[in-house]
Structure formats: C-alpha cells, structure tokens
Structure 1
C-alpha cells in the first residue's frame, strides 16, 4: 500500500470515529424519539384528539405492542434486504458494462 493510500485511510478512519463519538458527547441530555411519536404529538397540538385509522397487523396478532428490540430487529432485516437488492443491482450493472466492453473489443 502506498504512503498516500495509507494516509487517506487514516484520515477517513479519524473522520468516521469523530462522526460516531462526537454526537454522543455534544448532545448530552438529548432525547431521540421516533417520527411516529412526534407526528402524533403534532397532530394533537394542531387538530385535537388523534385517533389512528388502524392498528398494525403484528400488534393485532400479538394482542399488544411489539417490544422495541423486535421492532429494531425487523427494521434492520428490512434495511439488510434493501441494501442486498441495491448491491445486487449495482453489481449487475457494473458486470453488464464489462461484458459490453469485452464484446465491443471482440467485434473490432
């Protein structure tokens, strides 16, 4: 690995560490709520009583709310599936370009 590459990697690692740890110390006492909670609070402030149109399917099946850990797990699985699909499609496009370039070279 060249010296420039090593330097770039160290700089990027330092930036990553700063992005992860600086907010932990800079935002002491901050509360991080979900957008669903914030939305329902705003609706109540603006228009009165908020009543959901329906209950989530899993909550209906389980007769109660899902634990936070399960919600996080489902969200992570959904994210992983989405990233997998995007990575597959991007890889497919790159490989298609390579194959097209090879075919062009063979024809000429």
Structure 2
C-alpha cells in the first residue's frame, strides 16, 4: 500500500515538474498558440490571403477563452472516462454470474 502511495506521489511530482520547469526557466518566453503562429506564417508567405470566414463570436478576453478551452477539455475527458469505464464494466461478469 505504501509503495503505491509513494509511486503516485512521485508521478504527480513529475507531472508538476514537467509543467513548472519550462515556465520557470524561460521567463521571457512567449507561449503563444499554434493558431497565431499559423496566421503569421500564412500572412508572411501570402500577404494577399483573405480568410474564408470570420468567427461569429469573439470572447471578451483571454481569460474567458481559457475558461472555455478548459471546459471543453474537461467535458471531453469526462465523456472519454465514462465511455472507457462503461466498456470495462460491461466486459466484467456481474456478481451473480461469478458464483
């Protein structure tokens, strides 16, 4: 039991370190998204390019955009976790069938 607690603690510490080390070591770095980089590359290669459409709603700030992204990720993780749990539970025999 103690080994599993230690193992889980070490794994959690490793995940936290993987997220914290780049943020601490690269203090002047700009962590932009891939969308912004793609837009810059397209306008650099083809300055006359016009987008096909524009977003119908622009979030009022970066915080709202981050919140919506986090909600989307949480919803996806919940659906995926439920589906995997359902599949695993459906493959296991019920208590009455075990004998």
TM-score interval, normalised by the smaller of the two chains = 0.7 to 0.9
Q: Alignment length, in residue pairs? A: 99
Q: After superposition, where does 1:1-108 map in structure 2 within 5 Å?
A: 1-2=1-2, 4-59=3-58, 66-99=60-93, 103=97
Quote the offset at 1:7 in angstroms.
3.6
TM-score (normalised: structure 2): 0.79
RMSD: 2.3
Quote the offset at 1:11 in angstroms.
2.7
Unaligned runs of 5+ in 1: 60-64
TM-score (normalised: structure 1): 0.74
Question: Which residue of the partner structure matches residue 62 of structure 1?
Answer: none
Q: Which one has the bigger helix percentage?
A: 1
- Larger Rg over CA atoms: 1
Secondary structure of the residue aligned to 1:99 is coil
Unaligned runs of 5+ in 2: none
